[in-house]
Amino acid sequence: MPANTALWLNAKGAPFTVGPAPYTAPGANEIVVRVRAVAVNPFDRAIQTMGGIITPWISYPFVTGSDIAGEVVEIGRQVTRFRIGDRVLGYAAGSDKRRNRAAEGAFQDYVVLLAHMAAPIPDAMAFEEAAVLPLGVSTAACGLFQKEFLAMNAPSSALAPKGETLLVWGGSTSVGSNAIQLAVAAGYDVVATASPRNFAYVKRLGAREAFDYRSKTVTADIIRALRGEKIAGAVAIGAGSAASCIDIVGACTGNRFVALATPAASFDDVPAGRGRLPRLAAAAARMVAGNIRLALKARLRGVRTKFIWGSDLIANEVGPMIFEAFLPSALADGRFVAAPSPTVVGAGLAQIPLALERQRQGVSATKLVVTL
């Protein structure tokens, strides 16, 4: 049995530490992957600093992390899609309430994956590139395709234009980059927001038009651009995105629904460990007030909203829709690309906390990756 090592979170708010971990064999519908690259996400930091609030079910010691790419080393007895040695990307679902399992956290050498949340990657795609996709594509897919969200048509190679337009606020984020591509692959027009330096980037991914989210006239500009069109709704990503999307969608015809990716308040200034309680309480108060304001605004504008939980697709038809039916062929024929592009910040599990801190300071149209 191979020796495994993990980046452990031994208790709520504890520092990350590297140490030995058990190697876990796959269950019937699981595979084990030798991880070669992981990407880091705001959610990984959030679990460390406020796991007691957002993931109260987690049993410690725990291994966090969602995004991996690597090679399949062992296959569960009911798995037919993979062979040992296959190069794959996958969504490590350990932090999800339904899994709550350290063996399924990304930040270790050998990770157990749900087979239906993994996809083969083309030979020409580096592990570092592939690792940027899983949580970004999953969160975007949850917002776009789940029935209780935007309920859009599934992405397909037989592209029939739907005649509807999706607004992606935060198009250059990791979630937004995937939302643009998925919507275009499903036959929708897309308008997106980004910083002007990323206009060309979001257009390359398929957005028809790009708008600067910092512009004072952005809301009016987008409403004008969408006049006479039927909208598929909006995905709100980034600070302040929800209020603007509600204003825009509320002034449009079509599906007046905003799928929310970003919480109403940021917890970025809450440190792990000592001194966290006063900041945590202040952030929680901002969150409650922000949610009330958004609910009132949405009701006033006749817009429905719902907060996305990016791992919900593990338990419904959207997981297989993306990882089994869509990604394998779309990655192979180049219809879907790994975006945003990776910035490799180091090698080895010990580099992950540094990558998380760099992520907290902010990135633009890139995803931070650590190789293992």
Residue 365 touching ligand NAP (CB under 6 A): yes
Task: Considering only the stretches 97-105, 188-196, 297-305, 323-331, report the one whose residues sit in contact with ligand NAP under the rule CB under 6 A.
Answer: 188-196
Cβ distance to ligand NAP smaller for residue 82 or 267: 267
When the beta carbons of 100 and 195 are compared against ligand NAP, the nearer one is 195
Query: Closest approach of Cβ 238 to ligand NAP, in Å?
Result: 2
195 lies in the site for ligand NAP, by CB under 6 A: yes
The Cα 7–Cα 107 span in angstroms is: 6
Q: CB-wise, 95 or 165, nearer to ligand NAP?
A: 95
Q: How far is the CB of 362 from ligand NAP (least distance, A)?
A: 7
Q: Pick between residue 32 and residue 137 the one whose CB is nearest to ligand NAP.
A: 137
Number of residues interacting with ligand NAP: please give it, by CB under 6 A: 30
Least Å from the CB of residue 150 to ligand NAP = 14
Considering only residues 64 to 103 of the shown chain, the ones binding ligand NAP according to CB under 6 A are: none
Residue type, 355: A
Q: Does 126 bind ligand NAP (CB under 6 A)?
A: no
Closer to ligand NAP by Cβ: residue 4 or 64:
64
Of 238, 319, 342, 353, which lies in the binding site for ligand NAP, with binding defined by CB under 6 A? 238
Angle, alpha carbons 119-311-139 (nearest 5°): 80
Q: By CB under 6 A, is residue 172 in contact with ligand NAP?
A: yes
Provide CB contacts within 8 A for 357, sequence distance 6+.
none
Rounded to whole angstroms, how far apart are CA atoms 337 and 46? 27
Residue of the chain from 173, 181, 305, 371 that contacts ligand NAP (CB under 6 A) = 173
CA 216 to chain centre: 28
Write down the least CB distance from residue 28 to ligand NAP, Å. Answer: 27
Residue pair 345/372 in contact (Cβ under 8 Å)? The answer is no
> Is 242 one of the binding residues for ligand NAP (CB under 6 A)?
no
- Positions 260 through 319 that interact with ligand NAP (CB under 6 A): 261-262, 308-310
Nearest residue (beta carbon) to ligand NAP = 238
Q: In angstroms, give the least distance from the CB of 212 to ligand NAP.
A: 9
CB 137 within 8 A of CB 53: no
Question: Which of 139, 146, 219, 305 forms a contact with ligand NAP (CB under 6 A)?
Answer: 139
Complex with ligand NAP: residue 62 or 91, whichever CB lies closer: 91
* Contact flags string 1-40 toward ligand NAP, x per CB under 6 A: ----------------------------------------
Residue owning tokens 């993994």 = 118
**Residue keyed to tokens 């004072």:** 216
Taken in order 213, 218, 221, 225, the sign of the CA dihedral is positive
Judge contact between 308 and 258, C-beta under 8 A. no
Q: Is residue 42 involved in binding ligand NAP (CB under 6 A)?
A: yes
Whichever of 156 and 343 has its CB closer to ligand NAP, that residue is 343
> Smaller CB distance to ligand NAP: residue 241 or 255?
241
Task: Enumerate binding residues for ligand NAP (CB under 6 A).
Answer: 41-43, 135-136, 139, 169-170, 172-175, 193-195, 198, 213, 237-241, 261-262, 308-310, 363-365
